[in-house]
């Protein structure tokens, strides 16, 4: 399947949608309208939950804010619905931005619980504010008018709704394929990964959160002017979970899944309403929610992936072209060989009473490979985390390229030119090799939200992709750039991480136990790669405890033991040092 096939399929779907009102009954068109309106929220949730990994139970509240805002503007104050759209979107995005700033630093399930909390609080507010009709709601909301045409009938507003849905899908997919979208897709890999790429994770989460709220606001605006009446009911907590359900049924992580999920849930609900009374005579309408929740639970038990990803597995893969040569991305000025690059001076890190790193000092000069070694528990990993900003030193100074970095967050250190790899490989297994490496170019590129959504980033994107391909070729993984990263063996995953780090054009490459868990052949390949990088004048700092791997490779070694520096020197001197032998082997009795 090529890109053309996808475009043809999209065009065919659009044509079907455009013809639908001529074929379907008015009732079905109304149903389609609801599906479209719910789709918008579900697309936003797919972005937030599926792509970004932030589970929100509160989207219904955002729909409600926009619906009430536009009702207040148009029904209570007699202004145009278009002014209501402006006000509703601005208010919703504003509220979302404030909530996001406050809550998005929360971790894991705390974050989801906070969405339950504000979802409920805002939901209660609608029914209790004096000026908003309390539980009676607001009626006689005017229809949307385009020019002199008022969109009163369901077939008229149909085109507006589905036009917006199609646009949201198009822009959404463009965005996901851009620099910002890749950062969003990396969010699920955890903050440490994202920050190590020079990406401000919090900012990306906030942007994703506001985009989801924006789509919910559009949905609320359409809802208010289509049904012409609003009350607190459709924006309460149970609707919040229904949106989540649509997203998960369709397949979180797939924007199209949002639309499919909205359609399935809406149609299912409709048929449950139709057929349930036939099966269980006299049963109250509440059985609906029982049947519904039970289906949802069954679904989560049996198909956590969702429908669209399950079907997509059986479709032919989209054939992709290797990136064409493109103008190179700008490179950072590299320090002259032999220049002082990193200086650790009296670094100390305490955990309560334990001193993990105690008064350690060493220097790294440009163009050399330095290893920090030591037996288990020597403080290597703590030292490493202090260098990359994952931990702060309690005392002492770390200077990189002439600037102190002890107060910097991880992403800032990464941007300054320190690229790292992880002992436990952190790749995005469902992204291709090329995309994983392209993630590394984040700090060297600049296109933002609008450039990504409207494809104004093509030139930069071509350069970034070509750079990624060059780095893949440099490390010897250039033959299958569209393979998924999760399918690689561990040794190649390590090497892929190095390619990703290289794509950031680093001044210093820091490797966290790169040989751990590798087989002998893989270790030899890795050592060869690192030697070739030194030949390119790249500075490398390795934290490792595999002595054999280190000895034949590096220029100098710093030995840590019990948190303190034991000694420092060239490999042959370290090998014959008695203190080192004692630390590793327990000494000769």
Instruction: Report the alpha-carbon distance of residue 343 to residue 217 in Å, rounded.
Output: 51
Residue 373 bridge partners (DSSP)? 559
Can you tell me whether residue 457 is helix, strand or coil?
coil
Q: At its nearest, how many Å lie between another protein and the CB of residue 438?
A: 19
In terms of CB distance, is 176 or 533 closer to another protein? 176
Can you tell me whether residue 181 is helix, strand or coil?
helix
End-to-end CA distance of the chain: 70
Q: At its nearest, how many Å lie between another protein and the CB of residue 453?
A: 24
In terms of CB distance, is 90 or 98 closer to another protein? 98
Q: At its nearest, how many Å lie between another protein and the CB of residue 240?
A: 9
In terms of CB distance, is 245 or 401 closer to another protein? 245
Instruction: Report the alpha-carbon distance of residue 561 to residue 557 in Å, rounded.
Output: 13
Please name which of 138, 162, 141, 160 lies closest in space to residue 151, comparing C-alpha atoms.
160
In terms of CB distance, is 45 or 509 closer to another protein? 45
Q: At its nearest, how many Å lie between another protein and the CB of residue 19?
A: 37
In terms of CB distance, is 302 or 314 closer to another protein? 302
201-227 helix and 26-45 helix, angle to the nearest 10 degrees:
160
Instruction: Report the alpha-carbon distance of residue 262 to residue 32 in Å, rounded.
Output: 10
Q: At its nearest, how many Å lie between another protein and the CB of residue 116?
A: 7
Q: How far is CA 545 from the centre of its chain?
A: 33
Q: At its nearest, how many Å lie between another protein and the CB of residue 342?
A: 26
Q: Which spans of this chain sit near another protein (rule: CB under 8 A)?
A: 53, 55, 57, 102-103, 105-110, 112-114, 116-118, 120-121, 124-125, 128, 188-192, 237-238, 241, 244-245, 248, 253, 283-284, 286-290, 292-294, 296-297, 300-301, 304, 426, 429-430
In terms of CB distance, is 250 or 335 closer to another protein? 250
In terms of CB distance, is 145 or 293 closer to another protein? 293
Task: Quote the Cα angle for 181-182-186, to 5°.
Answer: 115
Provide φ and ψ at 568, rounded to 5°.
-150, 140
Question: In the chain, what is the greatest distance between 2 CA atoms, to the nearest angstrom?
Answer: 98
Q: Which two tokens stand for residue 338?
A: 């032999």
Instruction: Report the alpha-carbon distance of residue 414 to residue 195 in Å, rounded.
Output: 8
How many separate helices (H) and strands (E) can be counted in the chain? 23, 12
Instruction: Report the alpha-carbon distance of residue 2 to residue 319 in Å, rounded.
Output: 5
Q: At its nearest, how many Å lie between another protein and the CB of residue 431?
A: 10
Q: At its nearest, how many Å lie between another protein and the CB of residue 548?
A: 31
Q: How far is CA 444 from the centre of its chain?
A: 19
In terms of CB distance, is 253 or 491 closer to another protein? 253
Q: At its nearest, how many Å lie between another protein and the CB of residue 392?
A: 13
Please name which of 391, 385, 415 lies closest in space to residue 403, comparing C-alpha atoms.
415
Q: What is the dihedral of CA 128, 130, 132, 135, to 10 degrees?
A: 40
Pairing outcome for strands 564-569 and 556-561: antiparallel
Q: At its nearest, how many Å lie between another protein and the CB of residue 290?
A: 4
Q: At its nearest, how many Å lie between another protein and the CB of residue 31?
A: 23
Q: At its nearest, how many Å lie between another protein and the CB of residue 38?
A: 17
Please name which of 453, 356, 352, 441 lies closest in space to residue 396, comparing C-alpha atoms.
356
* DSSP calls for 89-151: HHHHHHHHHHHHHHHTTS-HHHHHHHHHHHHHHHHHHHHH-GGGTGGG-B--PPPPEETTEE-
In terms of CB distance, is 71 or 248 closer to another protein? 248
Instruction: Report the alpha-carbon distance of residue 230 to residue 27 in Å, rounded.
Output: 20
Q: At its nearest, how many Å lie between another protein and the CB of residue 230?
A: 19
What is residue 202's DSSP assignment?
Answer: H
In terms of CB distance, is 60 or 165 closer to another protein? 60
In terms of CB distance, is 20 or 287 closer to another protein? 287
Instruction: Report the alpha-carbon distance of residue 567 to residue 580 in Å, rounded.
Output: 8
Q: How many CA atoms lie within 13 A of 358 on its CB side?
A: 12
In terms of CB distance, is 430 or 531 closer to another protein? 430
Q: What is the dihedral of CA 562, 567, 570, 575, to 10 degrees?
A: -70
Q: At its nearest, how many Å lie between another protein and the CB of residue 484?
A: 11
Q: Which two tokens stand for residue 63?
A: 């729909």
In terms of CB distance, is 327 or 429 closer to another protein? 429
Instruction: Report the alpha-carbon distance of residue 472 to residue 495 in Å, rounded.
Output: 9
In terms of CB distance, is 112 or 457 closer to another protein? 112
């Amino acid at each position: 399947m090529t890109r053309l096939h996808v475009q043809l399929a999209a065009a065919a779907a659009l044509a079907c949608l455009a013809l639908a009102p001529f074929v379907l009954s008015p009732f079905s068109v109304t149903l389609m309208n609801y599906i479209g309106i719910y789709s918008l929220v579900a697309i936003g949730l797919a972005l937030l939950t599926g792509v970004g990994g932030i589970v929100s139970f509160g989207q219904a509240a955002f729909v409600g804010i926009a619906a009430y805002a536009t009702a207040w503007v148009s029904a209570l104050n007699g202004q145009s619905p278009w002014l209501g759209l402006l006000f509703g979107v601005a208010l919703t995005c504003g509220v979302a931005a404030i909530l996001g700033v406050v809550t998005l630093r929360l971790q894991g399930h705390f974050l989801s619980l906070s969405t339950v909390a504000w979802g409920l609080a805002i939901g209660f507010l609608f029914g209790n504010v004096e000026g908003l009709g309390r539980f009676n709601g607001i009626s006689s909301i005017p229809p949307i008018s385009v020019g002199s045409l008022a969109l009163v009938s369901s077939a008229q507003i149909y085109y507006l709704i589905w036009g917006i849905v199609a646009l949201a899908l198009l822009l959404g997919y463009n965005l996901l394929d851009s620099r910002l979208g890749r950062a969003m897709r990396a969010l699920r890999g955890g903050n440490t990964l994202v920050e190590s790429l020079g990406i401000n994770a919090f900012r990306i989460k906030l942007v994703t959160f506001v985009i989801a709220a924006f789509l919910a606001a559009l949905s609320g605006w359409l809802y208010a002017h289509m049904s012409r009446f609003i009350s607190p009911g459709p924006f309460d907590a149970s609707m919040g979970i229904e949106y989540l359900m649509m997203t998960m049924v369709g397949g979180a992580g797939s924007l199209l899944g949002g639309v499919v999920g909205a359609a399935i849930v809406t149609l299912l609900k409709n048929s449950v309403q139709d057929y349930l009374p036939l099966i269980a005579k006299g049963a109250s309408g509440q059985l609906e929610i029982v049947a519904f929740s039970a289906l949802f639970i069954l679904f989560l038990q049996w198909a956590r992936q969702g429908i669209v990803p399950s079907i997509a597995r059986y479709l032919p893969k989209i054939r992709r072209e290797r990136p064409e040569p493109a103008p190179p991305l700008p490179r950072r000025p590299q320090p002259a060989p032999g220049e002082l690059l990193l200086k650790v001076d009296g670094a100390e890190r305490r955990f309560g009473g334990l001193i993990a790193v105690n008064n350690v000092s060493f220097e790294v000069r440009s163009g050399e490979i330095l290893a920090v070694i030591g037996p288990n528990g020597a403080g290597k990993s703590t030292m490493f985390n202090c260098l990359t900003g994952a931990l702060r030193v309690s005392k002492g100074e770390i200077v990189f390229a002439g600037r102190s970095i002890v107060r910097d967050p991880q992403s800032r250190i990464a941007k300054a030119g320190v690229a790292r790899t992880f002992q436990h490989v952190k790749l995005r297994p469902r992204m291709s090799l090329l995309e994983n490496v392209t993630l590394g170019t984040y700090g060297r590129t600049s296109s933002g939200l609008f450039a990504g959504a409207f494809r104004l980033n093509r030139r930069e994107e071509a350069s970034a992709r070509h750079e990624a391909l060059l780095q893949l070729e440099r490390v010897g993984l250039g033959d299958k750039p569209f393979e998924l990263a999760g399918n690689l063996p561990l040794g190649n995953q390590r090497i892929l991480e190095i390619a990703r780090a290289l794509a950031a054009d680093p001044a210093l490459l820091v490797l966290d136990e790169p040989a751990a868990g590798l087989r002998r052949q893989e270790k030899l390949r890795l050592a060869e790669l690192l030697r070739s990088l030194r030949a390119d004048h790249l500075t490398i700092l390795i934290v490792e405890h595999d002595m054999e791997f280190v000895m034949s490779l590096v220029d100098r070694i710093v030995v840590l033991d019990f948190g303190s520096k034991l000694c420092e020197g060239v490999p042959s001197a370290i090998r014959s040092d008695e203190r080192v032998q004692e630390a590793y082997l327990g000494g000769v009795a």
